[in-house]
Amino acid sequence: MKQKYSPMMMQYLEIKEQNQDAIVMFRLGDFYEMFFDDAIVVSKALDLALTGKNAGVKERVPMCGVPFHSVSGYIQKLIDLGHKVAIVEQLSEPGKKGIVKRGVVQIITPGTIMDTSLNEKRNHYIGALGIFDFNYTLAYCDISTGEFYVVNIDKKEHILKNYIDSLGLKEIVVSEDWSMDGLFISHFEDDHFNDQYKKIFESLSDLKQIKMCSLLLNYMLDTQKRELEHLQKIQEVKTEDYIYMDSYTKKSLELIKNLNNESYGTLQWLLDDTKSAMGGRLLRQWIERPLVNQEKIEKRMDIIEVFIDNFIERETIKDIINDIYDLEKLAGRIAFGNVNARDLKWIASSLNVVPELKHQLLSLNTSYTDELAHQLVDLSHLTKAIDDAIVDNPPLTVKEGGLIKSGYNQELDELRYIRENGKQWLSEFEAKERERTGIKGLKIGYNRVFGYYIEVTKSYLPMIKDEFEYTRKQSISNAERFVTPELKEMEAKILSANDKIVALEYEIFVQLREYMKKDVHLIQDVAGVIAQIDVYQSLASKASQNSYVRPVFNLEHRLHIVNGRHSVIEQVISRQNYVPNDIDMSQEQSILLITGPNMGGKSTYMRQIALSVIMAQIGSFVPADEAHMPIFDQIFTRIGASDDLISGQSTFMVEMLEANNALRYATKDSLIIFDEIGRGTATFDGMAIAQSIIEYIASSIQCITLFSTHYHELTMMDDSFHIQNVHASASIEDDHIVFLYKIKPGRSHRSYGINVAQLAKLPDEVIQRSQVILESLENNNIEKVISEKQEPQTIVKESVVEKALSRIDPMTLSPIEALSTLIELKKLL
């Protein structure tokens, strides 16, 4: 083939040919350059100037570039836009004969981007999916921390999607045709077992799991172009060990994100008093996956109780953990090869406080805390190695010197002596030249291009004589720069020493990094124990601050909570203003039918029960005076209404689909929470569906169910359906509704819809007319209401309605209150 382009561009094209599905970032000096179509795409995506490059042909090749020192931000943007990025680096030193050798050193994808931010309290996983005859197998790994998991999932697409959503997966590797909306799918077929990594497979025996973990491992090795020695032992996740909650349930209960996709006001926001990133990530995992094994739950509570009872030690432990950096990610950086000297100092300072943490745990003198303490192994040999070698405030770069302490390496000290003496020599040389030439403004300078030079301003140039042996080196606007044979000789010595110092410091740093790499897994183990301790102290602190109690579990399906509170809302509105409520359910009365006005607290009451269950089963204490509960295996909720307009599904269809999940998959050990099921269709249809759902739950599932409704007829259902009626209480004072937020026994005798409409400041004509219609409907005089011609009514000034409305501040009304009013009026119509 006739060479069309320059040798460098031919090199680029050859690499691009092998990475056609990726944006190729080609390192040239201090920039990463992109060419041809890549340049056009990236210039638009990143708003960069599109230029051209001479490449041995008549037409200039499209080109754009980004500085190498700030490339990570640009890469992140490209990844967020769904691109793969191939990083091409120089593999040989420039200046030697022939073109500089270059090659791909890493391929970055949405799942393999090496998260550079420390102290983030969430994981970033990449997954690999296998589709088998009877189940899905999903392997997933956080490449920045080395955590590696695998799970078998029932072959039901909604369960798989729920699991993928809960993990926040952005990329899934598959070896066959498969797709899911919103996911970056990478096709890869190498699932051979890698003997070099057999240690991380030790706990696996399922061949499908080994196959998927191998696929994911080989994909990561292929894209990262290096060994991944920080990968931790693969842990099998058994779905039956955790409460099942679909993504809608997690969203409606606001466990991790609120309805605005923010963390404020969530269960994680409430419980997170962790002082380390490792602890924050572990707490999130606990909240996402509450336990169903009572023994494991009780063990967590036992440890939390120890921390609650020992305030001083707990606060000391909290302060110690506050001084610990993100050891999991720092350990990953060591193995990944992108750790710097500052990272090593952070590791050393973190490990230096571990002995004191161990001492504090042992001082608690319990078997549980002793067990944790003994897992904090001695890593003083690592801290000593770092502190002996690395200066106290090292630079961020590792290839420009200034890393290694004096006295650590004899050769390095000798080179530094030459360099320091050189500086002294330069100072003396400058003074000597000033005296010799009589030029008082003469000074010695240095830059990377021209080395050392004598600078003389233009006003002094006539004083320079031939016998000084000054050779002109550079002209600048107001001065000339010269060199002498003596200065040139010394420059060679100084620069040679400096280059050797930089090279030797980097060599020592790499040796230290390799020494640390041998014990990366020990650092990870210690980090894992610190994470557990951090979560325990966090949950203990919250229990102490907020007066939570330890729940008692039973096998009788009894849910009995005295003065229970919504754990989040009581913090938002202040606990003094919160109205607590009881619940008492059993096998004999397993369905709680809740009536009462909108905004009266029904949804809050149901959510607080669900949150208390989740808190209890992650091992936390709960907001109540007393709590007895069974262990639940699944939680299903249908709270609130939302159209899925994108897929063309109405509110009612979404409601029915979500109700269907509960009715099909719930067991007698599940918890179901339904908020006004059936309201999205005609009144009689909705009421019929709601009643049949209650009957089905009572006869076929027989699990604890909370069911709120405005269909008051349902409260008359036969006692054989295990129904217990309660209502959200309210009162009318001067025609003004007052919500009491107290759940009381018995059914509600009215919905207070018109009163809520008054709160929303509907026109007086509407309110008065609705009262007339309501009276007629209650007297079963429907025909009269419909046929009766209504004359315009004269509004009496200073009526009772006006007086009531005049006491309402319109600025306090929320859109949801107005929406609730309109819903009530539509039902009446």
- Over residues 733-747, the pLDDT tens digits come to 766 777 778 999 988
Q: Is position 260 annotated in a ligand binding site?
A: no
Residue ranges of domains in the chain, CATH in brackets: 7-108 (3.40.1170.10), 126-241 (3.30.420.110), 272-378+526-543 (1.10.1420.10), 410-513 (1.10.1420.10), 547-745 (3.40.50.300), 753-828 (no CATH)
Terminal Cα distance for the chain, rounded: 82
Give the pLDDT band of residue 751 (cuts 50, 70, 90): low
Helices (H), 518-595: 520-546, 569-573
| Backbone CA torsion sign across 599, 603, 609, 610 | negative
Query: What's 190's DSSP letter?
Result: -
Say yes or no to pLDDT of 171 above 80: yes
Mean pLDDT for all residues in the chain: 88
Q: Is position 602 annotated in a ligand binding site?
A: yes
Closest CA to 330 of 321, 342, 318: 342
Q: Is position 748 annotated in a ligand binding site?
A: no
Q: Which carries the bigger pLDDT value, residue 281 or residue 400?
A: 281
Contacts of 502 (CB under 8 A, 6+ apart): 399, 400, 401
Say yes or no to pLDDT of 5 above 70: yes
Order of strands across the sheet with 443-447?
443-447, 451-457, 479-483, 471-476
**CA 209 – CA 236 distance, rounded (Å):** 9
- Burial of 764: CB neighbours in 10 Å, binned 0-12, 13-18, 19+: middle
Q: Is position 601 annotated in a ligand binding site?
A: yes
Tokens found for residue 423: 């500086």
Task: Determine phi and psi for 267, rounding to 5 degrees.
Answer: -65, -40
| pLDDT at 782 (0 to 100) | 46
Q: What is the dihedral of CA 682, 688, 694, 697, to 10 degrees?
A: -100
Q: What is the pLDDT of residues 584-633, one digit of tens each?
A: 999 889 999 999 887 888 899 999 999 999 999 999 999 999 999 999 99
Q: Is position 29 annotated in a ligand binding site?
A: no
In this structure, of 195-204, 507-516, 790-799, the range with the lowest mean pLDDT score is 790-799
Q: What is the pLDDT of residues 298-321, one digit of tens each?
A: 999 999 999 999 999 999 999 999
**Helices and strands of the chain, counted as H and E runs:** 27, 27
Q: What is the pLDDT of residues 675-691, one digit of tens each?
A: 888 776 667 788 888 88
Contact indicator for 31, 65 with CB cutoff of 8 Å: yes
Contacts of 672 (CB under 8 A, 6+ apart): 636, 637, 662, 666, 697, 701, 703, 704, 705, 706, 707
| pLDDT at 641 (0 to 100) | 46
Which residue is associated with the tokens 């754990």? 567
Tokens found for residue 413: 């000290």
| pLDDT at 577 (0 to 100) | 78
Say yes or no to pLDDT of 796 above 50: no
Query: What's 789's DSSP letter?
Result: P
Q: Is position 598 annotated in a ligand binding site?
A: yes
Task: Determine phi and psi for 339, rounding to 5 degrees.
Answer: -80, 145
Q: Is position 815 annotated in a ligand binding site?
A: no
Q: What is the pLDDT of residues 80-114, one digit of tens each?
A: 898 999 999 988 877 666 788 999 999 999 998 76
Which residue is associated with the tokens 């805390």? 369
The residues with which 726 forms a beta bridge, in sequence order, are 594, 745
Give the pLDDT band of residue 539 (cuts 50, 70, 90): very high
Contact indicator for 596, 737 with CB cutoff of 8 Å: no
pTM for the model stands at 0.83
Give the pLDDT band of residue 639 (cuts 50, 70, 90): confident
Q: Is position 279 annotated in a ligand binding site?
A: no
